[in-house]
Amino acid sequence: MKRKLIGALVGAAAMSLAAGQAVAQKAGAKVSGDMVKIGVLTDMSGVYSDLGGQGSVTAAQMAIDDFKAQAKPAWKIELVYADHQNKADVGSNKAREWYDTQGVDMITDALNSAVALAVSKVTLEKKRILIDTGAASTRLTNEDCSPNTVHYVYDTYALANGPGKAVTKQGKDSWFFLTADYAFGHSLEKDTSDAVKASGGKVVGAVRHPLNASDFSSFLLQAQSSKAKVVGLANAGGDTINSIKAANEFGLTKNQTIVGLLTTIIDIHALGLPTTQGMMFTEGFYWNLNNETREWSRRFFGKHKKMPSMLHAGTYSAVMTYLKAVQATGTDEADAVMKQLKATTINDMFAKGGKVRADGRMVHDMYLVEVKKPAESKEPWDYYHIKAVIPANEAFQPMSLSRCPLVKK
């Protein structure tokens, strides 16, 4: 009984504190506690930790340091980070704790769609901001869109649409899919199939493999006997890596083009060019694009010892853009900052002319890349030919197809 009473008292105290904080934030058009606090919520040790993980923390810290040096804000900036272990409940609990007790204003990275959707709900409830640079699901800006969430780097539509259209138009018009047998894989397959068919291509078949299958040779043999010109890999992480490795071993790459639907420079680096040459896929960022990307990426490399993934570059850009918006409005109050974010045109090493739409989607150019042959690569991490720049208005789902209630039609 006594313990229950104490529990209730503590709970009540915590609630009143939290409420007090919320009031304080609404009241003043100034930065609460003279402190902007940014939380990087990511996978620090699991399957996506190379894609986001410590690299995202490093990128966010770089953005904070650069912003401090350039803008010399009157308020302090603090960075916190945590491992969500790819579990939606762990992620949303952490977000709640950060918002309630630590005064975190903005959460970023949040890779893994399940975690992102959960954190987005908490963010809306607590009236803070989520700038998601890691998750893939288009639900974040459609059925589950939120006035407090920005989806910054990529989504399954952008990943599927680019290669689906561009590769088909190059005459590689028959596709076979290797699909991870869960929601993510299915939606990636569907989105790509739609793009292929819209461009006059056809889909000759698909094989659904279990998540984390240890051996892909059997599935690739089926892809081989389908005689499709393109084999699309609607899977991610270790599954993609092992599919590519087996494709190479079984000689698929001689007659068929392998298109990764969620492949990044991290995968290419892990596999090496001899295995991956000739593959095509969509990227949101490439370090060796121009002087600006090279300059930033080399600085990042100096700290992280690996070149940035599009998540890392996106996280830097997101934190920088957010801090500039706080500076411009003079407050960290979410509604005002979001309004500012949606009015800003983002121009930095990550995005040129980037815009945050009403549904929370940040649209920017994407790149269709082809992996170089080993002989063409001049230095470590020199991996891509840029085959096409997919302009922002074509790369992402058009607003006319939006299923987000925030979008007025």
Binding site for other proteins (CB under 8 A): 45-50, 181, 207-210, 212-215, 217-219, 221-222, 224-225, 237-238, 241-242, 245-246, 249-251, 266-267, 269-272, 274-275
Nearer to other proteins, 270 or 328 (CB): 270
- Are 317 and 349 in contact, with CB atoms under 8 Å apart? yes
CB of 234 to other proteins, least distance (A): 13
Kindly compute the dihedral angle of the four CA atoms of residues 268, 272, 273, 277, in this order, to the nearest 10 degrees: -60
CB of 215 to other proteins, least distance (A): 5
CB of 274 to other proteins, least distance (A): 6
Helices (H) and strands (E) in the chain, counts: 15, 15
CB of 222 to other proteins, least distance (A): 7
Edge-to-edge strands, sheet with 35-42? 76-83, 35-42, 106-109, 129-132, 149-151
Nearer to other proteins, 16 or 45 (CB): 45
In 3-state terms, what secondary structure has residue 42? strand
Nearer to other proteins, 7 or 272 (CB): 272
Kindly compute the dihedral angle of the four CA atoms of residues 356, 362, 364, 370, in this order, to the nearest 10 degrees: 180
Nearer to other proteins, 96 or 186 (CB): 186
Nearer to other proteins, 268 or 346 (CB): 268
Nearest to 293 by CA among 314, 269, 271: 314
Nearer to other proteins, 47 or 90 (CB): 47
State how far the Cα of 82 lies from the Cα of 101, in Å rounded to an integer. 15
CB of 226 to other proteins, least distance (A): 11
CB of 153 to other proteins, least distance (A): 18
Taking 3-state DSSP, the helix, strand and coil percentages for the chain, each rounded to the nearest 5, stand at 50, 20, 30
Nearer to other proteins, 51 or 106 (CB): 51
Give the residues across from 232 on adjacent strands.
Answer: 177, 259
Nearest to 196 by CA among 180, 172, 220: 172
How far from 268 is each of 194, 206, 232, 372, CA to CA, in Å? Answer: 27, 24, 16, 10
CB of 382 to other proteins, least distance (A): 16
CB of 218 to other proteins, least distance (A): 4
In 3-state terms, what secondary structure has residue 179? strand
State how far the Cα of 355 lies from the Cα of 222, in Å rounded to an integer. 42
Nearer to other proteins, 214 or 400 (CB): 214
Whether the CA torsion 238, 115, 184, 308 is positive or negative: it is: negative
CB of 313 to other proteins, least distance (A): 17
CB of 373 to other proteins, least distance (A): 15
Nearer to other proteins, 68 or 227 (CB): 227
- Are 307 and 300 in contact, with CB atoms under 8 Å apart? yes
What Rg value do the Cα atoms of the chain yield, rounded? 22
Nearest to 79 by CA among 101, 100, 104: 104
Nearer to other proteins, 144 or 267 (CB): 267
